Amino acid sequence: MYDLSEYVKTLKQKYTQWHNKRRGRKGTLWEERFKSIMIEPDRAREGQWDNALLTMAAYIDLNAVRAGIVSDPKDYRYCGYGEACGGSRQARERLGWLFAYYGQGEVDWQCVGGQYRQQLFARGEQTERRSGFSHEEVKTVLENEGKLTLQQALRCRVRYFSDGVVLGSKAFVEDIFERNREQFGLKRRNGARPLRKAEAGGLCTMRDLRLAVILPPKAA
């Protein structure tokens, strides 16, 4: 499985078979085969921000907006920018590396978040052939240098509070985890998941955003 084409082909076939069996349906599930593209990484070293890698990152993070799922990429938890706004340290580091690689020096999230948000809105402006942000929305974001308002930032944090299943100190979450140990997989060693980069004073939740909600064990 060292070939990306073979990997994606197998993944789509297996998922389609599982989905069809579960839903009692037949036929293909995916409209087209996946597309891959080789990206040039070095152009931005000349000081040009119109580079391929940044363009590709923005394209991915704007997919949910263009599909009409959300009106702002920060509200879509399954993209890197949404994860970063929600407090994911890894997502923030990855975007930071992107800016550092292209000559921005040592950067932190406060700097990267604003710059990247400006890039997203500038590249995602609505056109006659493509949905996206209105001219007024783009103008507002650029004038504010991509900074989120207090209300917007709080909304990103609230998702971690509302989707965590259990909220409290590490000891409290671990106690609930131990009392419901049979509801979790054998490989899971502990229950507490800290609210990353959320300035939550040590609060923890039972699960991260991407994990499935706790379900009762399947009947034997």
Tens-digit pLDDT profile for residues 70-102: 999 998 888 999 888 887 888 888 888 877 766
| Strands 193-194, 204-205: pairing kind | antiparallel
Q: How many domains does the chain have?
A: 2
Domain range for 126 is: 48-157
As given in the structure block, the two tokens for residue 147 are 């900074």
pTM of this prediction?
0.59
4 in a domain, yes or no? no
- Check if the beta carbon of residue 10 is closer than 8 Å to that of residue 18: no
116 in a domain, yes or no? yes
Do 73 and 98 lie in a common domain? yes
Mean pLDDT of 134-157: 83
Do 172 and 111 lie in a common domain? no
Q: What is the mean pLDDT of the chain?
A: 78
Whole-angstrom Cα distance, residue 159 to residue 166?
13
Do 184 and 103 lie in a common domain? no
HEC letters along 139-207? HHHHHCCCCCCHHHHHHHHHHHHHCCCCEECHHHHHHHHHHCHHHCCCCCCCCCEECCCCCCCCCEECC
Residue 128 predicted with pLDDT over 50: yes
